[in-house]
């Protein structure tokens, strides 16, 4: 009963303070925009991996000067951050980017894509689904305790050159991944639709597969 009351309280907080949640997310987006306007911080080394968060500093205004230059014919290997959906929609998407988009070594990374929700009062759109909420009863057992709204979300996607931090292009994408998670984070306040791999492929392909502009 205590757990149910706590979850109900979280849901009520989310309902009453939706604009507060939007403001927090907007502040994060504004911070990234400020870094972009102030110019990149240049560092003379390469991240050790091409996976995880190693290249995320590019999204925050860092330029890795030893990265491969973005020039000549494609493919231009890319690391993609942000916009993931809460469920398994991405894994079921049949039109994923080809394997030659993925850098095989840190020195081959040329581009970094960064997605942030646009929460300006229009970015968090209509409710797309109602997802079940579960609470953990034991290590192996969960019990359904309510529902969480999944909102159709619009994202700002910035395509950056890893070597210089230069913005190559920016896009706005409404996430089409509206699949509910099997077991979401606890306690979940809300879910956002995510960007499908096929959506990334559609907008980024000319810059990754074609000649550098």
Residue pLDDT, tens place only, 4-55? 444 445 445 445 555 444 444 444 444 444 444 456 799 999 999 999 999 9
* pLDDT value at 200 more than 70: yes
- C-alpha 127/C-alpha 25 separation (Å) is 18
- Bridge pairing between strands 124-136 and 142-161: antiparallel
pLDDT band for 2, please (50, 70, 90 cuts). very low
CA pair distance 133, 151, nearest whole angstrom: 15
Kindly report, residue by residue over 173-183, the tens digit of the pLDDT: 999 999 998 87
Report which of 91, 58, 87 is spatially closest to residue 179, judged by C-alpha positions.
Answer: 87
**3-class state of residue 201 by DSSP:** helix
pLDDT digits (tens, 9 = 90+) for 114-135: 999 997 655 578 899 999 888 7
Q: According to the model, what pLDDT value does residue 146 have?
A: 86
pLDDT at 205 over 90: yes
Number of neighbouring beta carbons within 10 Å of residue 115? 21
Determine how many CB atoms are found less than 10 A away from the CB of residue 123. 22
Q: Where are the domains of the chain?
A: 2-208
- Find out whether 96 and 198 touch, Cβ atoms under 8 Å: yes
The reported pLDDT for the residue numbered 34 is 42
Q: What is the pLDDT of residue 12?
A: 54
The structure tokens listed for 189 are 């306040």
Biggest CA–CA distance in the chain, Å, is 63
**pTM listed for this prediction:** 0.78
In the block, which residue shows the tokens 């950056």? 160
* Contact criterion met (CB below 8 Å) for 114 and 155: no
- Mean of the per-residue pLDDT values of the chain: 84
Beta carbons of 47 and 107 less than 8 angstroms apart: no
CB contact at 8 A, 41 and 64: no
185 membership: H or E segment, kind and range: none
- Average pLDDT (67-86) is 96
Percent of the chain with pLDDT over 90: 63
């Amino acid at each position: 009963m205590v757990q149910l009351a706590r979850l109900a309280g979280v849901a009520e907080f989310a309902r009453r303070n939706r604009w507060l949640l939007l403001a927090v997310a907007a502040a994060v987006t504004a911070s990234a925009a400020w870094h972009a306007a102030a110019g990149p911080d240049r560092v003379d080394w390469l991240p050790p991996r091409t996976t995880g968060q190693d290249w995320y500093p590019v999204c925050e205004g860092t330029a890795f000067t030893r990265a491969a230059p973005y020039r000549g014919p494609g493919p231009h290997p890319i690391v993609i951050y942000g916009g993931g959906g809460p469920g398994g929609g991405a894994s079921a998407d049949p039109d994923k980017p080809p394997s030659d988009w993925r850098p095989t070594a840190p020195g081959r990374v040329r581009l970094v894509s960064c997605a942030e929700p646009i929460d300006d009062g229009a970015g968090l759109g209509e409710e797309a689904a109602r997802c079940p909420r579960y609470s953990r009863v034991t290590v192996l057992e969960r019990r359904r305790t309510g529902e969480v709204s999944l909102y159709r979300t619009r994202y700002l996607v910035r395509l950056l050159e890893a070597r210089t931090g230069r913005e190559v292009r920016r896009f706005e994408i409404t996430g089409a991944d509206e699949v509910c998670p099997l077991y979401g984070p606890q306690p979940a306040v809300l879910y956002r639709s995510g960007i499908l791999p096929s959506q990334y492929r559609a907008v980024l392909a000319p810059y990754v597969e074609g000649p550098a502009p």
